[in-house]
Amino acid sequence: MIDAIASLGRSSLNALVVFGRAFLFLLQVLASLDIVIRRFGLTVVQIYSVGVRSLLIIIVSGLFVGMVLGYQGYITLVNFGAAEALGGVVALSLVRELGPVVTALLFAGRAGSALTAELGLMKTTEQLSAMEMMAVNPYRRIFAPRFVAGFVSMPLLAAIFSAVGVIGGYIVGVGMLGVDSGAYFSQMQSVTDWNEDVLSGVIKSIVFGFVVTWIAVFQGFNAMPTSEGISRATTQTVVVSSLAVLGLDFILTGLMFGTG
Amino acid sequence: MAEPVAEESPHIVIENLRFRRGRKVIFEDLSMRIPRGQVTTVMGPSGSGKTTLLRLIGGQLRPDGGRIWVDGQEVARLSTRRLYALRKRMGMLFQSGALLTDLSVFENVAFPLREHTDLPEDVLRTLVLLKLEAVGLRSARDLDPASLSGGMARRVALARAIALDPDLIMYDEPFTGLDPITMGQIVTLIRRTNQSLGLTSVLVSHDVTEAMTISDHVVLIADGRAVDAGAPDDLRARASDWSAQFLEGRPDGPVPFHYPGDSYREDLLGVRERRDD
Ligand SMILES: Nc1ncnc2c1ncn2[C@@H]1O[C@H](COP(=O)(O)OP(=O)(O)OP(=O)(O)O)[C@@H](O)[C@H]1O
Ligand SMILES: [Mg+2]
């Protein structure tokens, strides 16, 4: 019994220590952000490897999610004789919720895990130490550009996801189920509000991008310098950032739509 | 530039260094001097803290007590900017080579130059080729670090370490895991680098034969202290208990064969008590 309480106490303390380290790490990275302006090229390379390499999975998933939404939306709406409203339903679900959330989950799995593994390997093979000994600050040279790349790519990927999803809904709704093409888009325009829907989706995806990238980069930095350490950190990145995204989504949705 | 006393003063001075990892004391009271312009080898058994010592000298770790001066500057007291300036004048070869895996051999050697200078591309190219030529790998410049053998990786790392023309270079176990030919090449390279560039070389090693042939000065460490120091021949002649055991490779002696712990008998009988302290 006492042992159980003691181990609970110990693991909460450990969690607190890790969180503290993650926070200090974030501060150090933020203090190094001037490198992004001074040597923009470093960040561009990272945007390519974090963002562009995630494009395919984002486009394919967006297409399928949009198509499923087209189906499900149609089945429900046609009962009320409101099949023309399909465009609005598809767009709202994507822009407000599914775009940011699903993109963030995919981003954590594709780009986040890759970031953690890359940085963990750099740490294990002493590349980060070697850089320090060459008087190159890894926070500036390595962490800050990756952090900014993740943070910038995520909202763009979410926007692409939503746009492709709208096309997916169109393919199913208009192409296969016979909803009027003009109605699909005019409904979409009249129902979606810029501030209420689009902007809130963008804010969500910025927050998710920040959190997922923070977790991924920190896990790589903090990994035990062994091969098990790297694989454990990679798994942790996916698990922790997925949970963080879903939890934050609940909180953000409450904040944004709860009062309005 | 060079002060008159600089010639004679040691490059690195360590006084009463204390350092521990958690509860494990790694350095108890370590003092040594590393003369300028010579090859000094720090020898000690595995796990005696040789790598740790190099990291302390490079300012990556902070001592718990005592002081380390490099070139008259106390490392632990330097501001980040000063420390980085000092590191630009130090090269370090890691045990694993630690090449940057996403860059080619050429770019690895160019890395410190690109980070710290604004040299035009053609000058930079000439410099990098010069350094690669010095280690005999000019034609391997387009290879990937992953496709290099251990010995080649170490030579590339050496080219990278001398890219900024440092005045101090530190080698962590440069001989381990090499075949005799590659070992010979590395020994020659270290010696030649030391002579032609006139720099101070610090080696950390447990390969007695190579270390003794290559060094001007040897420091033996054990139990967190420097137990003996001097020119290789003096050390062999003098042969204190400890040095004799180490240099001749006897399994037991002042350095025990067994990891410290409970007695064998207690362990077998299962009377081992928990020691909480
Ligand atoms: N990051 C670390 N955390 C805790 N203990 C460590 C760490 N790194 C090294 N140690 C411990 O410090 C001691 C000295 O390590 P160090 O790597 O300096 O030894 P070494 O003399 O270089 O050994 P080798 O000859 O095997 O390379 C070892 O007992 C090791 O267990
Ligand atoms: Mg070592």
A130 contacts chain B (CB < 8 A): yes
Does residue A1 lie within any of the structural domains? no
Please report the pLDDT score of residue B177 as a whole number: 78
Does residue A179 lie within any of the structural domains? yes
Judge contact between A216 and A245, C-beta under 8 A. Answer: no
In a 13 Å sphere around the CA of B67, the CA atoms on its Cβ side amount to: 9
Please report the pLDDT score of residue B178 as a whole number: 80
The contacts of residue A129 (CB under 8 Å, 6+ apart) are B55, B60, B94, B98
Nearest to B88 by CA among B27, B161, B32: B161
Mutate to test the pocket of ligand 1, among B17, B19, B20, B21 (most ligand atoms within 8 A of CB): B21
Q: Is the pLDDT of residue B245 over 60?
A: yes
The shortest CB-CB distance from A129 to any of B90, B98, B116 is to B98
* Confidence category of residue B70, pLDDT binned at 50, 70, 90: very high
Does residue A27 lie within any of the structural domains? no
Residue B74's SS3 state is: strand
Please report the pLDDT score of residue B14 as a whole number: 92
Please report the pLDDT score of residue B225 as a whole number: 85
The radius of gyration of chain A's CA atoms, rounded to the nearest angstrom, is 21
Q: How far from each other are the two terminal CA atoms of chain B, in whole angstroms? A: 54
Query: Looking at residues A98-113, what average pLDDT do you find?
Result: 95
Residue spans of alpha helices (H) in chain B = 50-57, 80-87, 105-116, 121-134, 150-161, 180-197, 208-214, 232-238, 241-248, 264-269
Is A31 buried (19+), middle (13-18) or exposed (0-12) by CB count in 10 A?
Answer: exposed
Q: Is the pLDDT of residue B267 over 80?
A: no
B154 contacts chain A (CB < 8 A): no
DSSP annotation of B258 reads S
Question: How would you classify the pairing of strands B12-21 and B24-34?
Answer: antiparallel
Q: Is the pLDDT of residue A58 over 50?
A: yes
Beta bridge partners of B13: B33, B69
Mean residue pLDDT across chain A: 92
Pull the structure tokens for residue B161.
């370490």
Q: What is the ipTM of this complex?
A: 0.81
Please report the pLDDT score of residue A241 as a whole number: 95
Does residue A249 lie within any of the structural domains? yes
DSSP annotation of A110 reads I
Tell me the residue range of the domain where A41 lies.
32-257
Please report the pLDDT score of residue B5 as a whole number: 46
CA distance B223 to B254: 10
Mean residue pLDDT across chain B: 84
DSSP annotation of A22 reads H
Beta bridge partners of B220: B43, B228
Using an 8 Å CB-CB cutoff, list chain B residues near A133: 58, 60, 87, 90, 92
CB within 8 Å: B60 and A134 = no
**Percent share of chain B, pLDDT over 70:** 84
Across A95-104, A225-234, A238-247, B190-199, least confident range: B190-199
The shortest CB-CB distance from A125 to any of B92, B96, B112 is to B96
Q: Express each pLDDT in A124-158 by its tens digit.
A: 999 999 999 999 999 999 999 999 999 899 999 99
Please report the pLDDT score of residue A94 as a whole number: 93
CB within 8 Å: A122 and B99 = no
* Confidence category of residue B237, pLDDT binned at 50, 70, 90: confident
Query: Looking at residues A173-197, what average pLDDT do you find?
Result: 89
Ranges assigned E (strand) in A1-76: none
Say how many Å lie between the CA of residue A31 and the centre of ligand 2: 33
CB within 8 Å: B98 and A126 = yes
Higher pLDDT, A238 or B185: A238
Which position has the token pair 């944004």? A256
* Confidence category of residue B2, pLDDT binned at 50, 70, 90: very low
* Confidence category of residue B1, pLDDT binned at 50, 70, 90: very low
Does residue A23 lie within any of the structural domains? no
Query: Looking at residues A230-256, what average pLDDT do you find?
Result: 94
Does residue A8 lie within any of the structural domains? no
Query: Looking at residues A182-211, what average pLDDT do you find?
Result: 90
Higher pLDDT, B265 or A28: A28
Residue B219's SS3 state is: strand
Query: Looking at residues A67-79, what average pLDDT do you find?
Result: 92
Does residue A166 lie within any of the structural domains? yes
Residue B255's SS3 state is: coil
DSSP annotation of B7 reads G
CA distance B233 to B235: 5
Query: Looking at residues B10-27, what average pLDDT do you find?
Result: 90
Please report the pLDDT score of residue B277 as a whole number: 47
Is B274 buried (19+), middle (13-18) or exposed (0-12) by CB count in 10 A?
Answer: exposed
With CA atoms as reference, the chain B residue closest to A138 would be B115
Say how many Å lie between the CA of residue B49 and the centre of ligand 1: 5
Please report the pLDDT score of residue B6 as a whole number: 46
Query: Looking at residues B3-32, what average pLDDT do you find?
Result: 82
Query: Considering only CA atoms, which residue is closest to atom 29 of ligand 1?
Result: B47
Q: Is the pLDDT of residue B197 over 90?
A: no
* Confidence category of residue A208, pLDDT binned at 50, 70, 90: very high
Please report the pLDDT score of residue B262 as a whole number: 66
Nearest to B116 by CA among B163, B171, B168: B163
CA distance A102 to A164: 13
How many domains does chain A divide into?
1
CB within 8 Å: B116 and A125 = no
Q: What sign for the dihedral angle of Cα A211, A145, A223, B104?
A: positive
Does residue A199 lie within any of the structural domains? yes
The amino acid sitting at B221 is I
Please report the pLDDT score of residue B265 as a whole number: 66
* Confidence category of residue A2, pLDDT binned at 50, 70, 90: confident
Query: Looking at residues A32-41, what average pLDDT do you find?
Result: 87
Please report the pLDDT score of residue B42 as a whole number: 92
Across A20-24, A254-258, B140-144, least confident range: A254-258
Please report the pLDDT score of residue B253 as a whole number: 66
**Percent share of chain B, pLDDT over 90:** 35
Please report the pLDDT score of residue A107 as a whole number: 95
Please report the pLDDT score of residue A193 as a whole number: 86
